[in-house]
Amino acid sequence: MRNILKGYMLFLFTLIVGSVYIAFAFSGPEQPVQRGEGASGISGWVVGNIEYTLVANNPALVSSISFTLDGPAHQVIVYLGSGNTAPASCLPQGGYRWQCETPGVSVASLDELRVIATGN
């Protein structure tokens, strides 16, 4: 009888300690876990009024590109040409107009303009 009572007391003690441990473990602030991947439509800016400036002494090269966005942006970069892997950083010119310096990009390689902007 005494052994049964000791076993029962040990079981109750373990149950209480385990419950307290679980209560403390789940009482802290919940940290969001971000995992996985997904796909959805991307809403973005409309790019307009695109102007290319050529190098004065070599018009086969583009020195800069400027354009407007239809809304405010925090940071903008562009890729000129599908084979060009180096992005060009852009600076705001007032309003929603941006200008990007693109030294050394040839006019012949311009088969696409890719604008990447991040919002405020």
Query: What pTM was computed for the model?
Result: 0.62
The pLDDT of 7-33, averaged and rounded, is 74
Token pair of 70 as six digits: 């239809």
Query: What residues have CB less than 8 Å from 117, skipping those under 6 apart?
Result: 44, 45, 69, 73, 74, 75, 76
Q: Residue 116 belongs to what H/E stretch?
A: strand 113-118
The model's pLDDT over 65-119, given as tens digits with 9 standing for 90+, comes to 999 998 888 889 898 887 777 888 899 998 899 999 987 788 888 888 888 888 7
**How far apart, in Å, are the Cα atoms of 112 and each of 49, 57, 75, 89, 92?**
16, 24, 20, 16, 22
Whole-angstrom Cα distance, residue 94 to residue 38?
36
The structural domains of the chain, ordered by start, are 47-118 (2.60.40)
The pLDDT of 48-52, averaged and rounded, is 92
Whole-angstrom Cα distance, residue 71 to residue 65?
18
